[in-house]
Amino acid sequence: MYVKGVNLGNWLVLEKWMSPALFDGTTAEDEYYLSSQLSKEVYEARIKIHRAEYITEGDFVRIKAMGLDTVRIPVPYFIFGDRPPFIGCIAELDKAFNWAERYGLQILIDLHTATDSQNGFDNGGISGVCKWSRQPDEVEFILNVLEHLAERYKDRAGLWGIEVLNEPILDNMWEMMDVPNRYPAADPEKAKGSGPNTMEFIRRFYLDAYDRIRKHLPEEKYIVIHDAFNLHAWKDFMREEKYKNVVLDTHQYLMFAEMDGCEQTARGYTRYIKEHYEDEIRKMQQYFPVICGEWCLFNSLAVGCDTRGGQSVLNGQEGMSSERISQDQKKEIYQAVAKAQLAAWRAGSGYFFWSYKLLTDTVNTPGWVGWDSWDFGRCMDLGWFPADN
Protein backbone atom coordinates (compact mmCIF):
# COMPACT_ATOMS: atom_id res chain seq x y z
CA MET A 1 0.00 0.00 0.00
CA TYR A 2 1.34 3.41 -1.01
CA VAL A 3 -1.00 6.38 -1.14
CA LYS A 4 -0.43 9.70 -2.92
CA GLY A 5 -2.94 12.30 -1.90
CA VAL A 6 -3.91 15.83 -1.10
CA ASN A 7 -6.03 17.41 1.62
CA LEU A 8 -9.22 19.27 0.78
CA GLY A 9 -8.49 21.67 3.62
CA ASN A 10 -10.76 24.67 4.32
CA TRP A 11 -13.72 23.16 2.46
CA LEU A 12 -15.85 21.68 5.23
CA VAL A 13 -13.63 22.81 8.14
CA LEU A 14 -12.83 26.50 7.82
CA GLU A 15 -9.39 28.01 8.37
CA LYS A 16 -9.36 31.79 8.27
CA TRP A 17 -5.85 32.14 6.81
CA MET A 18 -6.86 30.01 3.82
CA SER A 19 -9.98 32.03 3.02
CA PRO A 20 -9.86 35.41 4.80
CA ALA A 21 -12.78 36.98 2.89
CA LEU A 22 -15.20 34.53 4.55
CA PHE A 23 -14.48 36.30 7.84
CA ASP A 24 -14.98 39.86 6.55
CA GLY A 25 -16.88 42.11 8.91
CA THR A 26 -16.02 40.04 11.99
CA THR A 27 -13.19 39.68 14.47
CA ALA A 28 -13.64 35.89 14.50
CA GLU A 29 -10.54 33.70 14.13
CA ASP A 30 -12.49 30.44 13.74
CA GLU A 31 -15.87 29.07 12.71
CA TYR A 32 -17.14 28.90 16.29
CA TYR A 33 -17.15 32.67 16.59
CA LEU A 34 -17.94 33.35 12.93
CA SER A 35 -21.35 31.77 13.50
CA SER A 36 -22.02 33.97 16.52
CA GLN A 37 -20.82 37.27 15.01
CA LEU A 38 -22.91 37.05 11.85
CA SER A 39 -26.67 36.89 11.65
CA LYS A 40 -28.06 33.40 11.06
CA GLU A 41 -29.01 34.31 7.48
CA VAL A 42 -25.64 35.81 6.56
CA TYR A 43 -23.68 32.99 8.20
CA GLU A 44 -25.69 30.29 6.45
CA ALA A 45 -25.46 32.07 3.07
CA ARG A 46 -21.67 32.48 3.34
CA ILE A 47 -21.10 28.87 4.32
CA LYS A 48 -23.38 27.44 1.64
CA ILE A 49 -21.83 29.55 -1.12
CA HIS A 50 -18.31 28.71 0.08
CA ARG A 51 -18.98 24.97 0.14
CA ALA A 52 -20.64 25.02 -3.29
CA GLU A 53 -17.81 26.94 -4.96
CA TYR A 54 -14.63 25.95 -3.13
CA ILE A 55 -14.56 22.31 -4.25
CA THR A 56 -16.46 21.10 -7.32
CA GLU A 57 -16.50 18.11 -9.66
CA GLY A 58 -13.78 19.72 -11.76
CA ASP A 59 -11.37 19.68 -8.82
CA PHE A 60 -11.62 15.89 -8.62
CA VAL A 61 -10.84 15.71 -12.34
CA ARG A 62 -7.79 17.91 -11.82
CA ILE A 63 -6.55 16.00 -8.77
CA LYS A 64 -6.67 12.77 -10.75
CA ALA A 65 -4.89 14.43 -13.68
CA MET A 66 -2.12 15.60 -11.34
CA GLY A 67 -1.22 11.98 -10.62
CA LEU A 68 -2.80 11.61 -7.19
CA ASP A 69 -5.03 8.75 -6.12
CA THR A 70 -6.64 9.80 -2.81
CA VAL A 71 -8.07 12.85 -1.08
CA ARG A 72 -8.14 13.43 2.67
CA ILE A 73 -11.28 15.35 3.54
CA PRO A 74 -11.35 17.13 6.91
CA VAL A 75 -14.88 17.13 8.35
CA PRO A 76 -16.24 18.83 11.50
CA TYR A 77 -17.92 17.21 14.49
CA PHE A 78 -21.19 18.84 13.40
CA ILE A 79 -21.14 17.11 10.00
CA PHE A 80 -24.59 15.60 10.60
CA GLY A 81 -26.17 19.00 11.33
CA ASP A 82 -27.05 18.19 14.93
CA ARG A 83 -25.08 20.97 16.67
CA PRO A 84 -26.75 24.33 15.93
CA PRO A 85 -25.94 27.00 14.94
CA PHE A 86 -23.45 25.13 12.75
CA ILE A 87 -24.60 23.76 9.43
CA GLY A 88 -24.10 20.08 8.67
CA CYS A 89 -22.18 19.04 5.56
CA ILE A 90 -23.01 15.37 5.00
CA ALA A 91 -24.54 16.24 1.60
CA GLU A 92 -21.19 17.66 0.47
CA LEU A 93 -19.36 14.53 1.61
CA ASP A 94 -21.90 12.39 -0.28
CA LYS A 95 -21.16 14.42 -3.43
CA ALA A 96 -17.43 13.98 -2.89
CA PHE A 97 -17.85 10.20 -2.82
CA ASN A 98 -19.78 10.29 -6.09
CA TRP A 99 -17.09 12.44 -7.72
CA ALA A 100 -14.25 10.32 -6.33
CA GLU A 101 -15.78 7.09 -7.58
CA ARG A 102 -16.50 8.58 -11.00
CA TYR A 103 -12.89 9.67 -11.50
CA GLY A 104 -11.04 6.81 -9.82
CA LEU A 105 -10.06 8.49 -6.56
CA GLN A 106 -10.46 7.32 -2.98
CA ILE A 107 -11.32 9.24 0.18
CA LEU A 108 -9.86 9.33 3.67
CA ILE A 109 -12.51 10.88 5.93
CA ASP A 110 -10.65 12.86 8.58
CA LEU A 111 -12.57 13.95 11.68
CA HIS A 112 -10.80 17.27 12.07
CA THR A 113 -12.54 18.89 15.03
CA ALA A 114 -14.11 17.95 18.36
CA THR A 115 -16.45 19.93 20.59
CA ASP A 116 -14.37 22.36 22.67
CA SER A 117 -11.38 21.17 20.63
CA GLN A 118 -8.72 18.51 20.93
CA ASN A 119 -5.82 20.93 20.39
CA GLY A 120 -6.69 24.61 20.83
CA PHE A 121 -5.59 25.44 17.28
CA ASP A 122 -7.73 27.56 14.95
CA ASN A 123 -8.14 24.42 12.82
CA GLY A 124 -9.57 22.62 15.86
CA GLY A 125 -12.69 24.75 15.47
CA ILE A 126 -12.20 27.17 18.38
CA SER A 127 -8.91 28.94 19.07
CA GLY A 128 -7.35 28.75 22.52
CA VAL A 129 -9.84 26.23 23.91
CA CYS A 130 -8.87 22.59 24.51
CA LYS A 131 -11.04 20.67 26.94
CA TRP A 132 -13.02 18.16 24.88
CA SER A 133 -11.27 15.17 26.45
CA ARG A 134 -12.39 16.26 29.93
CA GLN A 135 -16.09 16.04 28.98
CA PRO A 136 -17.29 12.40 28.89
CA ASP A 137 -20.56 13.30 27.13
CA GLU A 138 -18.68 15.06 24.33
CA VAL A 139 -16.21 12.18 23.99
CA GLU A 140 -19.20 9.87 23.54
CA PHE A 141 -20.67 12.31 20.99
CA ILE A 142 -17.49 12.09 18.90
CA LEU A 143 -17.47 8.28 19.08
CA ASN A 144 -21.05 8.34 17.78
CA VAL A 145 -20.08 10.63 14.90
CA LEU A 146 -17.33 8.19 13.91
CA GLU A 147 -19.67 5.24 14.13
CA HIS A 148 -22.30 6.96 11.98
CA LEU A 149 -19.67 7.84 9.35
CA ALA A 150 -18.51 4.21 9.27
CA GLU A 151 -22.08 2.99 8.96
CA ARG A 152 -22.90 5.43 6.15
CA TYR A 153 -19.86 4.84 3.94
CA LYS A 154 -18.82 1.28 4.80
CA ASP A 155 -19.85 -0.13 1.40
CA ARG A 156 -18.59 2.72 -0.76
CA ALA A 157 -15.87 1.72 -3.22
CA GLY A 158 -14.40 5.21 -2.82
CA LEU A 159 -13.74 4.85 0.91
CA TRP A 160 -10.03 4.40 1.66
CA GLY A 161 -10.45 4.82 5.39
CA ILE A 162 -11.50 6.90 8.38
CA GLU A 163 -9.14 8.98 10.50
CA VAL A 164 -10.28 8.91 14.11
CA LEU A 165 -9.23 12.46 15.08
CA ASN A 166 -6.91 15.10 13.69
CA GLU A 167 -3.97 16.32 15.76
CA PRO A 168 -4.96 15.69 19.38
CA ILE A 169 -2.35 17.58 21.38
CA LEU A 170 -0.12 16.36 24.22
CA ASP A 171 1.94 18.48 26.60
CA ASN A 172 5.08 18.56 24.39
CA MET A 173 3.34 20.22 21.41
CA TRP A 174 1.18 22.36 23.68
CA GLU A 175 4.36 23.91 25.06
CA MET A 176 6.24 24.08 21.77
CA MET A 177 3.34 25.85 20.04
CA ASP A 178 2.63 27.96 23.15
CA VAL A 179 -1.04 27.44 22.33
CA PRO A 180 -2.63 30.00 24.72
CA ASN A 181 -0.49 32.82 23.28
CA ARG A 182 -0.36 31.75 19.64
CA TYR A 183 -4.11 31.09 19.56
CA PRO A 184 -5.53 33.44 22.20
CA ALA A 185 -9.03 32.57 23.33
CA ALA A 186 -11.72 35.08 22.36
CA ASP A 187 -13.49 34.33 25.65
CA PRO A 188 -11.13 33.58 28.57
CA GLU A 189 -14.07 32.22 30.55
CA LYS A 190 -14.80 29.68 27.80
CA ALA A 191 -11.11 28.67 27.78
CA LYS A 192 -10.98 27.94 31.52
CA GLY A 193 -9.85 24.38 32.17
CA SER A 194 -8.09 24.11 28.81
CA GLY A 195 -4.87 22.18 28.48
CA PRO A 196 -3.22 19.30 26.63
CA ASN A 197 -4.76 15.83 26.49
CA THR A 198 -3.06 12.98 28.33
CA MET A 199 -1.50 10.08 26.45
CA GLU A 200 -3.56 7.73 28.60
CA PHE A 201 -6.78 9.35 27.38
CA ILE A 202 -5.76 9.39 23.70
CA ARG A 203 -4.81 5.71 23.76
CA ARG A 204 -8.11 4.76 25.39
CA PHE A 205 -10.03 6.90 22.92
CA TYR A 206 -8.27 5.31 19.94
CA LEU A 207 -9.10 1.80 21.18
CA ASP A 208 -12.75 2.73 21.73
CA ALA A 209 -12.93 4.45 18.36
CA TYR A 210 -11.42 1.44 16.60
CA ASP A 211 -14.09 -0.84 18.11
CA ARG A 212 -16.93 1.51 17.19
CA ILE A 213 -15.72 2.00 13.62
CA ARG A 214 -14.64 -1.58 12.87
CA LYS A 215 -18.05 -2.84 13.99
CA HIS A 216 -19.28 -1.50 10.63
CA LEU A 217 -16.19 -1.06 8.47
CA PRO A 218 -14.94 -3.98 6.36
CA GLU A 219 -11.48 -5.22 7.33
CA GLU A 220 -9.87 -4.02 4.11
CA LYS A 221 -10.75 -0.37 4.86
CA TYR A 222 -8.16 1.52 6.88
CA ILE A 223 -8.57 3.06 10.32
CA VAL A 224 -6.09 5.88 10.80
CA ILE A 225 -4.75 7.23 14.10
CA HIS A 226 -2.74 10.41 14.45
CA ASP A 227 0.54 10.20 16.36
CA ALA A 228 -0.38 13.19 18.57
CA PHE A 229 2.94 14.75 17.48
CA ASN A 230 4.85 11.91 19.11
CA LEU A 231 5.79 9.43 16.41
CA HIS A 232 7.70 6.96 18.58
CA ALA A 233 5.09 6.62 21.31
CA TRP A 234 3.11 3.94 19.47
CA LYS A 235 5.51 0.99 19.16
CA ASP A 236 3.64 -1.05 21.75
CA PHE A 237 0.15 0.05 20.69
CA MET A 238 -2.52 -2.13 19.03
CA ARG A 239 -0.16 -5.09 18.77
CA GLU A 240 -2.99 -7.56 19.35
CA GLU A 241 -4.26 -9.68 16.47
CA LYS A 242 -7.72 -8.05 16.50
CA TYR A 243 -6.39 -4.73 15.17
CA LYS A 244 -6.45 -4.88 11.37
CA ASN A 245 -5.31 -2.31 8.83
CA VAL A 246 -4.48 0.44 11.32
CA VAL A 247 -2.41 3.26 9.80
CA LEU A 248 -0.32 5.75 11.79
CA ASP A 249 -0.52 9.34 10.59
CA THR A 250 2.28 11.81 11.31
CA HIS A 251 2.23 15.50 10.35
CA GLN A 252 5.58 16.99 9.47
CA TYR A 253 5.96 20.63 8.57
CA LEU A 254 9.24 22.42 8.01
CA MET A 255 7.97 25.19 10.30
CA PHE A 256 8.09 22.60 13.13
CA ALA A 257 11.63 21.73 12.06
CA GLU A 258 12.56 25.41 12.29
CA MET A 259 11.07 25.58 15.80
CA ASP A 260 13.26 22.59 16.62
CA GLY A 261 16.37 24.52 15.58
CA CYS A 262 16.70 23.37 11.95
CA GLU A 263 19.09 25.62 10.03
CA GLN A 264 17.11 27.77 7.58
CA THR A 265 19.09 26.81 4.48
CA ALA A 266 18.30 24.36 1.70
CA ARG A 267 21.05 22.07 2.99
CA GLY A 268 19.79 22.42 6.55
CA TYR A 269 16.26 21.44 5.56
CA THR A 270 17.28 18.44 3.47
CA ARG A 271 19.59 17.15 6.21
CA TYR A 272 16.85 17.54 8.83
CA ILE A 273 14.31 15.78 6.57
CA LYS A 274 16.67 12.83 6.11
CA GLU A 275 17.62 12.47 9.78
CA HIS A 276 14.30 13.32 11.43
CA TYR A 277 11.64 12.35 8.88
CA GLU A 278 12.98 9.59 6.67
CA ASP A 279 14.96 7.67 9.27
CA GLU A 280 12.24 7.97 11.94
CA ILE A 281 9.44 6.94 9.59
CA ARG A 282 11.46 3.95 8.43
CA LYS A 283 11.80 2.82 12.07
CA MET A 284 8.10 3.20 12.81
CA GLN A 285 7.08 1.50 9.56
CA GLN A 286 8.01 -1.78 11.29
CA TYR A 287 5.02 -1.32 13.59
CA PHE A 288 2.37 0.39 11.42
CA PRO A 289 2.02 1.57 7.86
CA VAL A 290 3.02 5.23 8.35
CA ILE A 291 1.61 8.06 6.25
CA CYS A 292 2.47 11.74 6.38
CA GLY A 293 -1.07 13.10 6.41
CA GLU A 294 -0.03 16.76 6.30
CA TRP A 295 3.05 18.49 4.92
CA CYS A 296 3.90 21.19 2.39
CA LEU A 297 6.77 23.13 0.84
CA PHE A 298 6.47 26.23 3.05
CA ASN A 299 9.70 27.37 4.71
CA SER A 300 11.17 30.61 6.03
CA LEU A 301 14.12 30.61 3.63
CA ALA A 302 11.80 30.94 0.61
CA VAL A 303 9.66 33.53 2.43
CA GLY A 304 12.73 35.69 3.00
CA CYS A 305 12.43 36.02 6.78
CA ASP A 306 12.13 33.87 9.89
CA THR A 307 8.39 33.19 10.22
CA ARG A 308 8.91 31.93 13.78
CA GLY A 309 7.33 28.60 13.15
CA GLY A 310 4.89 29.54 10.42
CA GLN A 311 3.25 32.46 12.16
CA SER A 312 1.41 34.72 9.77
CA VAL A 313 -0.14 38.17 9.68
CA LEU A 314 -3.07 36.58 11.52
CA ASN A 315 -0.71 35.84 14.44
CA GLY A 316 0.39 39.49 14.57
CA GLN A 317 3.45 38.91 12.39
CA GLU A 318 4.37 41.62 9.94
CA GLY A 319 5.40 39.14 7.23
CA MET A 320 7.03 40.05 3.94
CA SER A 321 5.31 42.58 1.68
CA SER A 322 7.69 42.13 -1.25
CA GLU A 323 9.76 39.26 -2.60
CA ARG A 324 13.35 39.02 -1.41
CA ILE A 325 14.09 35.76 -3.19
CA SER A 326 14.10 35.53 -6.99
CA GLN A 327 11.63 33.16 -8.62
CA ASP A 328 14.52 30.97 -9.82
CA GLN A 329 15.98 30.76 -6.31
CA LYS A 330 12.55 30.02 -4.89
CA LYS A 331 12.00 27.24 -7.40
CA GLU A 332 15.36 25.72 -6.51
CA ILE A 333 14.56 25.78 -2.76
CA TYR A 334 11.10 24.29 -3.20
CA GLN A 335 12.26 21.58 -5.59
CA ALA A 336 14.98 20.55 -3.11
CA VAL A 337 12.63 20.30 -0.13
CA ALA A 338 9.94 18.58 -2.23
CA LYS A 339 12.41 15.94 -3.43
CA ALA A 340 13.76 15.31 0.08
CA GLN A 341 10.29 15.08 1.65
CA LEU A 342 8.95 12.74 -1.03
CA ALA A 343 11.95 10.47 -0.41
CA ALA A 344 11.10 10.50 3.30
CA TRP A 345 7.46 9.56 2.70
CA ARG A 346 8.62 6.67 0.49
CA ALA A 347 10.22 5.19 3.63
CA GLY A 348 6.62 4.85 4.80
CA SER A 349 3.29 4.22 3.12
CA GLY A 350 2.43 7.52 1.48
CA TYR A 351 1.40 11.13 1.94
CA PHE A 352 -1.31 13.79 1.72
CA PHE A 353 -0.13 17.32 0.85
CA TRP A 354 -1.72 20.22 2.76
CA SER A 355 -3.56 21.59 0.97
CA TYR A 356 -5.18 21.37 -2.46
CA LYS A 357 -5.87 25.12 -2.68
CA LEU A 358 -6.19 28.32 -0.72
CA LEU A 359 -7.97 31.58 -1.51
CA THR A 360 -5.46 33.88 0.19
CA ASP A 361 -4.20 36.47 -2.31
CA THR A 362 -0.48 36.13 -1.65
CA VAL A 363 0.41 38.76 -4.26
CA ASN A 364 -1.83 41.72 -3.37
CA THR A 365 -2.22 41.23 0.38
CA PRO A 366 0.77 42.56 2.36
CA GLY A 367 2.53 40.02 4.55
CA TRP A 368 1.67 36.83 2.66
CA VAL A 369 4.79 36.43 0.51
CA GLY A 370 5.75 32.75 0.38
CA TRP A 371 2.44 31.35 1.59
CA ASP A 372 1.51 30.22 -1.94
CA SER A 373 3.67 27.15 -1.22
CA TRP A 374 0.78 25.69 0.81
CA ASP A 375 -1.32 25.47 -2.37
CA PHE A 376 -0.71 22.20 -4.21
CA GLY A 377 -2.16 23.47 -7.49
CA ARG A 378 0.18 26.46 -7.51
CA CYS A 379 3.14 24.26 -6.56
CA MET A 380 2.42 22.00 -9.54
CA ASP A 381 1.73 24.84 -11.97
CA LEU A 382 4.89 26.71 -11.00
CA GLY A 383 7.09 23.62 -11.32
CA TRP A 384 7.97 23.47 -7.63
CA PHE A 385 6.55 19.99 -7.18
CA PRO A 386 7.91 17.14 -9.33
CA ALA A 387 5.43 15.69 -11.81
CA ASP A 388 6.66 12.16 -10.97
CA ASN A 389 5.55 12.43 -7.35
Residue 272 placed within a domain = yes
Nearest alpha-carbon partner for 371 in 54, 363, 23: 363
Run of H or E residues at 251: strand 246-251
Report whether pLDDT(84) > 70. Answer: yes
What residues make up the domain containing 124?
Answer: 3-13+49-381
Name the band, by pLDDT with cuts 50, 70 and 90, for residue 316: low
Residue 21 placed within a domain = no
Tell me the three state secondary structure of residue 193: coil
Residue 166 placed within a domain = yes
How many angstroms separate the CA atoms of 92 and 42, rounded? 20
| Domain CATH number, residue 363 | 3.20.20.80
Q: Mean pLDDT across the stretch 209-235?
A: 98
Q: Which pLDDT score, from 0 to 100, does residue 44 have?
A: 97
Geometric angle at alpha carbon 294, from 314 and 196, rounded to 5°? 65
Q: Which pLDDT score, from 0 to 100, does residue 315 have?
A: 65
In total, how many domains does the chain have? 1
ω into 355 cis (within 30 of 0): yes
CB atoms within 10 A of CB 325: 17
pTM assigned to the model: 0.97
Name the band, by pLDDT with cuts 50, 70 and 90, for residue 318: low
Residue 28 placed within a domain = no
Report whether pLDDT(45) > 80. Answer: yes
Residue 138 placed within a domain = yes
Residue 389 placed within a domain = no
Residue 29 placed within a domain = no
Mean pLDDT of all residues in the chain? 96
The Cα-based distances of 110 to 9, 161, 247 in angstroms read: 10, 9, 13
Q: Which pLDDT score, from 0 to 100, does residue 310 have?
A: 85
Q: Which pLDDT score, from 0 to 100, does residue 308 have?
A: 86
Residue-wise pLDDT tens digits, 295-305: 999 999 999 98
Under DSSP, the state recorded for 162 is E
